[in-house]
Amino acid sequence: MASAASARAQYLLGFRRRAPLHRVPFPTPRSSNRRCGVRMASTGESPPPSTTVEVPGAAGPVLVMAAPGLPEADFRNAVDSALFKQWLRNLQTEKGVLTYGRLNLTRVLIEYFAVSFLVRASELAVPCPTQGVDMFGKRVGFLKFKADVVDEETKTKVPGIVFARGPAVAVLILLESKGQTYAVLTEQVRVPVGKFILELPAGMLDDEKGDFVGTAVREVEEETGIKLNLEDMVDLTALLDPSTGQRMFPSPGGCDEEIGLFLYRGSVDEETIRTLQGKETGLRDHGELIKLRVVPYSQLWRSTADAKALCAIALYEMAKREGLLASSPSANL
């Protein structure tokens, strides 16, 4: 009777024994309902592809190699990508890593992660895409690699894990209406931080031409529906000292992203402000789930944790203080 009562209690509490998961060809931990394994190269596989590149400032040719398992096509795409070439150029700039001779680049490893998840709800192994080289159509959009940079004095390595995603833009949109200035923000889900974030309209450059202002205008239209003119845009980061590269680096400890911050100021009627508030926008087929938020500019610095917005505020306020901007908006929507 006791055992029957115990079994009945376990059933009511949902502690029924589940069928075993399907086996997968890689070891998986047994302490979680969601399990993952990383596929590693076997001893019988051919060596990963590699090449050498000449980098001015390096002590010799730099070995670039693929992590075991990375497809050769992905490796070639990575080495030939604008992201990787720009990173190599950055090493040689006025404040580049290799400029002063103390640091030396010896090797670059293009990363590879092939992960499968076991999900108990379906009891299936669900493969995830290869992570290391992410293609956006025909171009490399994201690239992960590890650079071996050595301090020649101490012979120790400098931290060199890189998430390369390239240049981007963001726009501080200020709209004046009835004597009040408003900022237009986007609210959208940001999975890496697990939150909905209020931020400036922003986007990545999707070509190698470096058209920051054109990209800024296009991204504003895509994310807000607002059509801006190129001549009304003010490049706030262009006000920085040329030695900075005149771009903002939000996370240089792990990512190469450099952002051009732009300003647009215009005058609108109250109906436009009401129409923008809560408007749903974005490219839904690209996974953009965006809602517009309009906040008084005086409250903007307390309304968001977005680094792009906070940096744009700082540049805008300093530029006004030094008389580098016109005192009133020059455009009307």
* Structural domain boundaries in the chain: 34-164, 167-332
Do 295 and 183 form a contact (C-beta atoms < 8 A)? Answer: yes
Cβ proximity of 116 and 36 under 8 Å: yes
- Please, what is the angle between helix 72-80 and helix 82-90, to 10°? 50
**Distance (Å, whole) CA 50 – CA 64:** 6
Q: What is the pLDDT of residue 18?
A: 39
Quickly list H helices, 196-324.
212-224, 270-276, 297-303, 307-321
pLDDT level of residue 72 (50, 70, 90 thresholds): very high
Does domain 167-332 fall under CATH 3.90.79.10? My reply is yes
Where residue 69 falls (left for φ over 0; alpha for ψ -120 to 50; beta otherwise) is left
pTM score, two decimals? 0.80
Mean residue pLDDT of the chain comes to 84
Output the CA–CA distances (angstroms, integers) from residue 51 to 64, 110, 301, in the order listed: 5, 11, 48
Quick one: which of 308, 315, 197 has its CA closest to 259?
Answer: 308
Task: Give the amino acid at 315.
Answer: L
Q: What is the pLDDT of residues 214-228, one digit of tens each?
A: 999 998 998 888 999
The answer to which of 112-121, 181-190, 269-278 has the lowest mean pLDDT is 112-121
Task: Catalogue the E-assigned strands of 79-225.
Answer: 103-110, 115-119, 124-127, 133-136, 139-151, 156-158, 161-164, 167-177, 180-190, 195-199, 202-204
pLDDT surpassing 60 at residue 251:
yes
